[in-house]
Amino acid sequence: MPRFLVALVAASVLPAAGPAQPDDAAKAEAKLAKAREDHSAALADIRGGILKQIEDRDAAERRKANPDLDKLKGLKADRVALEEKGELPKWTDTRVKDRIAKANAPLVVALVDVKAAYTRAKDDDKAAAIEKELVELRRNAAVMAVKGLGSDDRVLFVHDAGYWIKGRGKDWFGTHNGNPVLWLETGRTKEYVEIKYVSGEGPLNLTLRIYADRAAANWGDGVWKPDRPGKWSKE
């Protein structure tokens, strides 16, 4: 089951290009260690707040003249799911999810940076391990975003060179042949989701419209051309 307390990917930055310096990886590892420490502390605080909400709801229900036993059972299940699996209660509001997104953002940045340092140093095994962790973060982000969007579950589109995934607010994150790219959502209709290139591997004037089975690209000339086949996914 996904661990929603590391679920929402906000934004990332691209690592600097160029050959690796001898201490590149060491510096990136130090930053990642600090990011992990801060991330754990932030999520522990959020988790504590949610547990307090569960306790308060439980206490309030038990004070009623005719307590709802099914509700109490549900609150107990919420506590177990949070403590054992890291899953958020279904009633968790968007403010908590925004706090998780804010907590996750520096960790994602640090992971991307250390992956780039390992890659420049030709330490591909370590880079692959970091990429695996990033993939899990993005997968969990998609699951959590789906839960928060109701009927509109278009948050993860997988294509032949990577994927595009919705982050916090209007932010989107993607990969193109393994390279991270940032996007901004600029439109959403029943037919497509529109995102505009922000930074990464791509031209500044690129806008995409993501349909059910493909994407179309506009290179700033007002003409929409076929881009990549793919599909929306919940995994």
**What does the pLDDT look like over 170-182, one tens digit per residue?**
888 887 776 778 8
User: Rounded CA gap, 88 and 166, in Å?
Assistant: 19
> Residues 90, 57: contact at Cβ < 8 Å?
no
pTM given for the model: 0.56
pLDDT value of residue 148: 46
SS3 of residue 77 by DSSP: helix
Both tokens assigned to 148: 């928060």
Map 163-221 to HEC letters: EEEECCCCEEEEEECCEEEEEEEEEECCCCEEEEEEECCCCCCCEEEECCCEEEEECCC
If asked whether residues 222 and 130 sit together in one domain, one would say no
If asked whether residues 166 and 139 sit together in one domain, one would say no
pLDDT value of residue 22: 52
Q: How many folded domains does the chain comprise?
A: 2
SS3 of residue 6 by DSSP: helix
> Residues 30, 167: contact at Cβ < 8 Å?
no
Both tokens assigned to 127: 């880079």
If asked whether residues 119 and 227 sit together in one domain, one would say no
What distance, in Å, lies between the first and last C-alpha atoms of the chain?
A: 11
Domain boundary among 123, 149, 175: 149
If asked whether residues 167 and 213 sit together in one domain, one would say yes
User: Rounded CA gap, 119 and 128, in Å?
Assistant: 9
If asked whether residues 52 and 131 sit together in one domain, one would say yes
If asked whether residues 145 and 226 sit together in one domain, one would say no
pLDDT at 209 over 90: yes
pLDDT at 14 over 50: no
Domain boundary among 111, 132, 149: 149
pLDDT value of residue 216: 95
Domain that holds residue 122: 1-9+20-149
If asked whether residues 141 and 225 sit together in one domain, one would say no
Both tokens assigned to 99: 């706090």
Asked if residue 14 belongs to a domain, the reply is no
Backbone dihedral region for residue 158 (phi beyond 0: left; psi -120 to 50: alpha; all else: beta): beta
User: Rounded CA gap, 30 and 103, in Å?
Assistant: 18
CB-facing half-sphere around the CA of 196: CA atoms within 13 A: 9
pLDDT value of residue 65: 95
If asked whether residues 51 and 155 sit together in one domain, one would say no
Asked if residue 15 belongs to a domain, the reply is no
Q: What is the overall mean pLDDT for the chain? A: 81
Both tokens assigned to 235: 């995994």
What mean pLDDT is predicted for residues 34-50?
90
The pLDDT tens digits for 67-122 are 999 999 999 999 998 888 778 888 888 788 778 877 877 888 888 888 888 988 89
If asked whether residues 42 and 129 sit together in one domain, one would say yes
If asked whether residues 126 and 109 sit together in one domain, one would say yes
If asked whether residues 45 and 133 sit together in one domain, one would say yes
Model confidence band, residue 150 (pLDDT cutoffs 50, 70, 90):
very low
